[in-house]
Amino acid sequence: MPDYLDHASGVEAQFTQMALERQLATTARAQNQHAHSQTHCLDCGEEIPSALRAAQQHVTLCIECAADAEKRARLTR
């Protein structure tokens, strides 16, 4: 029985490590993107219009996702 538990624990540790590495890679990519703003939305992946990127520094979300984020923020207050 301990062999199964040890194996399951090892598999869980591997999945946790992979998830952490994925998150760190995503964060590093986001930080290394164009210093002015993102070219694509971090939530949906759609391209952020160049006019919005030029008008507002450090844009990371498209208009629709930004509006959704604001709605969620208001609901949690």
**What's the N-to-C CA distance of the chain in angstroms?**
48
Q: Residue 6, SS3?
A: helix
Separation of alpha carbons 18 and 11, rounded Å: 11
The 3-state DSSP class for residue 61 equals coil
Could you tell me the pLDDT band of residue 26, with boundaries at 50, 70 and 90? confident
In the chain, where the domains are located: 1-32, 36-77
Residues forming beta bridges with residue 40, ordered by sequence position: 47
Residue 2 has pLDDT above 80, yes or no: no
Per the prediction, the chain carries an average pLDDT of 85
